[in-house]
Amino acid sequence: MSSKRKVISLELKMQIIRRVEAGERKSHVAQSLGLAQSTIKTILNQAEKVKDSVQNCSGHTAYKLTRTRGSIIEKMEKMLGVWVDDMTQRNAPLTQTVIQRKALTLFHQLKEQESEKTSETFVASRGWFEKFKKRATIHSLRRTDEAASAGAMKFVADLQEVIERGRYPPNLVFNVDESVIYWKRLPSKTVIPHCASRKKRLTLMMGANASGDMKLKPLLVYHAETNRRAWVTIDLFTDWFLNQFCPSVQRYCAQRNLEPKALLILDNAPGHPSNLGSLQTCIPVEVMFLPPNTTSILQPMDQGVKAALKANYLKRAFTQMSQAKDNEAIAEFWKNYDITDAITNIKAAWNELKYECLNSVWREVWFNIVMNCEAIDNEITAVCTDVVVLALATGSNEVDLANVLDLLKSQGETLTNDELLELMEQQVISSENDERPLVPIRPKKELTATIVTSCLNEVRHALEILSENDPDFARSCGVKRTVLEALNCYSAMIYNKKPR
């Protein structure tokens, strides 16, 4: 019987390449990994191709792939994965045919943009689709909710382990997420002309801690020559993380006499860097990423915070409109309503969110710290009811609660092929300026005085047992002396931590 062929992922191939490039002997690498030297040699001969494959693959896909494939197909699949996640978050219907058709359009567009002609082909076959489902963690389109629920349950369990191990109170566990705001879009059936243009939109990244008493300063992105789509890019997020998030949490901890640290929960949006845990920051920050297709189920900011903020924003806008004397004055007000007015109202809307509401949205991931599970839902209903009343005051007599709620649920149009391509290009540019780890971010190790003391006591106890039972007194004394001398570096840690 022939032996089973060992599967080697791209992640492992990159580890082999890096170890050899760092000067480690090929024979030692082969022996440590249980691989033949010929296998190591073959991987090294394909080093450039392996690196290109990793560059073109998304983070979690790189850990699963076992062979290099055509670069256009890899880019297409990365874009397709972002598109599928985006569609899932919008609760848009997805079928095998829809995904295959999207894959073909992306592939042909990428192929046309190649500077050199290529013979690479792609037919979006059923076989390809089945493999893509596994790589993109789409277990079954008809059972997407079940698959997402299973991933959600595992994440909740993993989160509790991290919280307990890191001893994170609710004050130091954070979540941030982005939301598109069409700042001049009004509910349907209003008599006031409104605009749904992409130029009348912005992206707002907001976040808070699980206790709800610390709102993070939002990041607002408006369209510009360098960011026409008003996206939160990797560079923007990294700058916010280093210069806003970490210092703010540090000050918060100092004010409340808390250990300066944080646990940050993110989804896998293209603008969220995978290397945050390895950056030099003023406080230690542990990062956890939500599983694919679970954002709408788990992410706290998606459980009502976005809707509540938009509801508050609408209420303020309609309040200002209702102060006009007549329909002509109302129309003139809205015509002159600009981005400066929008930013002012967004800031006020964010400040109006109550801590009970920000705490209640953690009900899906950390139920036992939530004070009132219905706080956010009750707030949204109350504010939307106020919006309806104010809309009536402006002459929009047909606006009802359903119209307002429909507007809050709308997330804008789906991503186009050009937008997907632009997102991928931004990721490539960022990665060229930043060496990203090709292995998952692991929790930072912490050797506390309690752990050291416990271990030293156990070692000393074991040495005493040896001394009591070893007939060779000289031997047991020598072992005891050698071991204790080797552990002096740990004993010194305990001594240095004690008050003098």
| Domain region containing 175 | 167-413
Residue 266 near residue 155 (C-beta atoms within 8 A): no
- What CATH number corresponds to the domain at position 211? 3.30.420
What is the CA angle 392-396-401, rounded to 5?
70
Are residues 407 and 454 part of one domain?
A: no
Same domain? 191 vs 323: yes
Beta strands in 145-255 (DSSP E): 173-182, 201-209, 219-222
| Calpha distance 127→20 (Å, rounded) | 36
pLDDT of 414: 66
- Indicate whether 427 belongs to any domain: no
Task: Quote the pLDDT of residue 68.
Answer: 52
Is there a domain that residue 140 lies in? no
pLDDT value of residue 487: 83
**What pLDDT score was predicted for residue 191?**
77
Closest of 294, 360, 357, 359 to residue 156, by C-alpha: 294
Residue at a domain's end among 413, 440, 464: 413
What is the distance between the alpha carbons of residues 216 and 176, in angstroms, rounded to a whole number? 8
Asked if residue 142 is part of any domain, the answer here is no
Same domain assignment for residues 322 and 461: no
* Predicted local distance difference test score (pLDDT) of residue 32: 82
Do residue 180 and residue 296 come from a single domain?
yes
* Claim to verify: residue 402 and residue 481 sit in the same structural domain: no
Same domain flag for 349 and 459: no
Q: Indicate whether 144 belongs to any domain.
A: no
How far apart, in whole angstroms, are the C-alpha atoms of residue 172 and residue 298? 18
340 and 478 share a domain? no
The DSSP result for 250-273, as a single string, is HHHHHHHT--S-EEEEE---TTS-
Report if residue 426 sits inside a domain.
no
Which of 413, 440, 466 is the C-terminal boundary of a domain? 413
Same domain, 194 and 311: yes
Predicted confidence at residue 339, as pLDDT, reads 92
What is the model's pLDDT at position 194?
A: 58
Q: Are 462 and 397 contained in the same domain?
A: no
pLDDT value of position 142? 47
* Residue 403 covered by a domain: yes
Same domain, 461 and 408: no
Q: What is the pLDDT of residue 411?
A: 54
Q: Is residue 386 part of a domain?
A: yes
How confident is the model at residue 134, as a pLDDT?
Answer: 77
* Separation CA 312–CA 350 (nearest Å): 8
3-state SS of the chain: helix, strand, coil percent to 5?
A: 60, 5, 35
Q: Domain check: are 356 and 404 in the same one?
A: yes
- Residue 401 contacts by C-beta under 8 Å, 6 or more apart in sequence? 384, 385, 388
Query: Do 343 and 206 lie in a common domain?
Result: yes
pLDDT at residue 438, rounded to an integer = 34
Distance CA 358, CA 303 (A): 10
pTM: 0.62
DSSP per position, 346-414: HHHHHHH--HHHHHHTTTTT-GGG-S-TTHHHHHHHHHHHHHHHHHHHTT-TT--HHHHHHHHH---SP
CA dist., res. 60 & res. 53, Å (int): 13
Domain boundary among 362, 386, 413: 413
pLDDT tens string for the chain (500 positions)?
444 445 577 778 888 888 888 888 888 888 888 888 888 888 888 887 777 666 555 444 444 444 555 578 888 888 888 788 777 666 566 778 888 888 888 888 888 887 667 778 888 888 888 888 877 766 545 444 555 677 788 899 999 999 999 999 999 999 999 988 889 888 888 877 655 555 688 899 999 999 999 999 999 998 766 666 678 888 899 999 999 999 999 999 999 999 999 999 999 887 888 888 788 899 999 999 998 778 878 999 999 999 999 999 999 999 999 888 788 888 899 989 999 999 999 999 999 999 999 999 999 999 999 999 999 999 999 999 999 999 998 888 888 998 898 888 765 556 677 767 766 665 555 554 444 333 333 344 567 777 777 788 788 888 888 888 888 888 888 888 888 888 888 877 765 654 43
Domains in the chain: how many in total?
Answer: 2
In a domain, 147, yes or no: no
